[in-house]
Amino acid sequence: MRRGIQLEIPNEWGNHLGEVLEPFDISRFDWYIGGEEAYQDVEGGEMEPLFQGETYGMKGRDLDEILNSKRYYIIFGNFKAYPQDASIEDVLTYEEFLNSRCQLIVLVVDCSYVAIYCKDTVMLTHLYRNALEKGFENVVYITDENDARTRLSVW
């Protein structure tokens, strides 16, 4: 069974995660943001944190604005999408994910490696095709057979 996709984004400033998630309507969800390590480019070539620590319930429209209109550099990131009426928690295993109301998990490790877990199989196919069309590298499905991850966390 397909659990998600993994791919590589360029190890450079940009809005790559916004491009990766283009088929997914970020604004329709509330988000858990792990607050790991990510920076935004501000005036004068300065940088500041993209997120202000761990956040439970960031509005999707705010996250959409960040991921699609700012220049950023994500070193480690942990993003989890929940329906707007759901209680938000940090699910840590695939089984917890399946049994929760969380719909999508995005993990960014070492600036380039992205894993996306998605419950909606049609959306998963759209995300996979989008990644290929955008030219991201090493795009493959994560399946029951090849998923070596024991925790849905970047740490």
| pLDDT band, residue 1 (cuts 50/70/90) | very high
Beta bridge partners of 29: 83
Go through 43-56 and write b for each residue having 16 or more CB atoms within 10 A of its CB, e for each that does not.
eeeeeeebbeeebe
Question: Mind listing the pLDDT tens digit for each residue in 24-57?
Answer: 999 999 999 998 899 998 887 789 999 988 999 9
Beta strand residue intervals within the chain, DSSP E: 2-8, 29-33, 37-42, 46-49, 55-59, 72-83, 104-109, 113-118, 137-143
pLDDT(95) > 90: yes
Q: How far apart are CA 60 and CA 102, in angstroms?
A: 14
Region 61-77: mean pLDDT is 95
Q: How far apart are CA 83 and CA 102, in angstroms?
A: 7
Please report the pLDDT score of residue 46 as a whole number: 86
Nearest CA-CA partner of 91 in 81, 110, 13? 81
Please report the pLDDT score of residue 155 as a whole number: 80
Q: Are residues 23 and 127 in contact, defined by beta-carbon separation less than 8 angstroms?
A: yes
Q: How far apart are CA 60 and CA 81, in angstroms?
A: 8
Alpha helices in 4-120 (DSSP H): 16-20, 60-69, 94-99
Region 77-85: mean pLDDT is 97
pLDDT(10) > 90: yes
Question: Mind listing the pLDDT tens digit for each residue in 120-145?
Answer: 999 999 999 999 999 999 999 999 99
Please report the pLDDT score of residue 44 as a whole number: 74
Q: What is the mean pLDDT of the chain?
A: 95
Region 87-108: mean pLDDT is 97
Spatial CB neighbours of 75, under 8 Å, sequence gap ≥ 6: 36, 37, 38, 39, 108, 110, 111
